[in-house]
Amino acid sequence: MRRLARLIAAGLAVAGMVVLLGWAAPGVLAAVSGAGADAPGDSVSASEASVQAGEWGPTDLLFFWGDGCPHCAAEQAWLDEVRPEYPAITIHEFEVWHDEANRAVLLEVAQDLGFEPRGVPVTVLGDRVWVGWSDLVRAELTAQLGATVADAGDGPATESPGGPGSETTITVPILGEVTLGDSLIASTLIIGFVDGMNPCSLWVITVLLAIVVRTGVRRRVIAIGTTYLLITAVMYGLFILGVYSALGLIAHLGIVQLVVALVAGVLGLLSVKDYFAFKQGPSMTISDSAKPGIYQRMRTVAGQERLLPALAATVVLAVGVSFIEIPCTAGFPLLWAGLLEANNVGFIQALGLLVLFMIPYLIDELIVFGVAVVAMRSLKMQERHGRLLKLLAGSMMIALAVTMLTAPEAMSRPLVAVLIFTAAITAAVVIHLVMRRLRPEAFAEVPARR
């Protein structure tokens, strides 16, 4: 037990450090990269001086970029292309990775408009801000440019997509209300739901509830089940934030998409392999050697006569199991965090999306929990169920890995995201139906023991 406690404490410390490093990384990297930078030029135009003084008008477009940032280069090329179409718009460009004065301007603008400059490019037009560059950002910026020119009397009115209906506001504990763009909501909900169909976590909670249900006390089942779900959800949320923060550390290198796609693709292939050869070779499942220890901790939970010691034992079980389950499901948090990083989602918006992620993620376990509370019996998780879930998860991971490698911005379009997931599910269903015909004995239901 002492060794387990030390392992848990070490894991929590590492997770906390990763999150803290993720928060501090952008500023640290900026300071390091700017340490040996040349001083800004001697001459500053009058318009740029007014921007630095915090006095920019509705027709001033502020473009903050980093030397070597591929998304910045793409937007810069686009701005050069459309500049002649909007002669009334004055474009001010600020390189912020190597110029300390320009970084100060970015921080002042961010403070004035109330946003967090977590990455580049950052585009400001009037009182609207865009962080990152994608097809969606280009479409919104084009519409806003047209509307700004029309307001200035130099062109036809153009409806801006930034009006009602393009944003969603949710309430996040502690932080309050957070406004999200609709772009990644659909992908977040679908990935969270598929991630929740994790055979490792479903196996643990079904076995735990099966043991606790034998006490015959519904109140005890509710208390222990709720505590277990709450602790595992918090641990998993911290893990996802750690992954998101870690990706932020390497975002400036421009290799996030490649790393995420390769790692998730390998994990997806291993999951599909588990469908055909369960637990043979490398496997993304709970090892048989770990199960006796899990059983023992479950019996400790059920064996406590008083409720408070039982809940304390449940917390220890949930924390320990969370570390064991992470390899089973690491692909989806990595892919989801990679999508956020590829679309330059800020930390506050990421927290809001994480809340949405956890809702569908918990649905499967809540169903198992609800059955146990109402019927006072636990559902049984068999190997054939786990294999099918592995195939489904693996197909999703591979599809997302390919999308991340080729066109990550596609996931910001709800319809495209749904089509990608539908194609992955269809492929998994077809494979399963073919295998049931070829190897029906592998998917036969195991008779219940009496």
Residue appearing with tokens 């421009």? 254
* Residue 345 backbone class (left: φ over 0; alpha: ψ -120 to 50; beta: rest): beta
- Per-residue pLDDT, averaged over 204-215, amounts to 84
pLDDT level of residue 230 (50, 70, 90 thresholds): very high
pLDDT level of residue 442 (50, 70, 90 thresholds): low
92-106, 149-163, 232-246, 356-370: segment of lowest average pLDDT: 149-163
In terms of pLDDT, which residue wins out, 114 or 41? Answer: 114
Spatial separation of the C-alpha atoms in residues 448 and 227, rounded to whole Å? 29
- In CATH, the architecture of 46-163 is 3-Layer(aba) Sandwich (3.40)
Spatial separation of the C-alpha atoms in residues 177 and 23, rounded to whole Å? 20
pLDDT for residue 405:
80
- Per-residue pLDDT of 334-383, as tens digits, reads 888 888 877 767 777 788 889 889 999 999 888 888 888 888 777 777 77
pLDDT for residue 62:
93
Spatial separation of the C-alpha atoms in residues 44 and 42, rounded to whole Å? 7
Check pLDDT > 90 for residue 61: yes
- Per-residue pLDDT of 282-336, as tens digits, reads 877 777 788 888 888 888 888 888 889 899 989 988 888 888 887 777 788 888 8
If you average pLDDT over each of 163-167, 170-174, 397-401, which comes out highest? 397-401
Spatial separation of the C-alpha atoms in residues 411 and 405, rounded to whole Å? 12
- Per-residue pLDDT, averaged over 86-115, amounts to 88
Percent of the chain with pLDDT over 90: 10
Rounded to a whole number of angstroms, the CA Rg of the chain reads 26
Check pLDDT > 90 for residue 227: yes
pLDDT for residue 115:
77
pLDDT level of residue 260 (50, 70, 90 thresholds): confident
Q: What is the mean pLDDT of the chain?
A: 76
In terms of pLDDT, which residue wins out, 68 or 172? Answer: 68
In terms of pLDDT, which residue wins out, 254 or 131? Answer: 131
Angle at 445 between CA 444 and CA 450, to 5 degrees: 140
pLDDT level of residue 79 (50, 70, 90 thresholds): very high
Spatial separation of the C-alpha atoms in residues 275 and 202, rounded to whole Å? 17
pLDDT level of residue 171 (50, 70, 90 thresholds): low
Domain boundaries, the chain: 6-21+170-443, 46-163
- Per-residue pLDDT of 261-270, as tens digits, reads 888 889 889 8
Supply the DSSP symbol for 86: -
pLDDT for residue 153:
60
pLDDT level of residue 63 (50, 70, 90 thresholds): very high
Check pLDDT > 80 for residue 38: no
Check pLDDT > 70 for residue 113: yes
Check pLDDT > 70 for residue 238: yes
Q: Edge to edge, what strands does the sheet with 60-65 contain?
A: 90-95, 60-65, 122-125, 128-131
pLDDT for residue 177:
54
If you average pLDDT over each of 44-53, 158-167, 369-378, which comes out highest? 369-378
CA distances in angstroms from 201 to 159, 197, 318, 330, listed in the order given: 47, 8, 10, 12
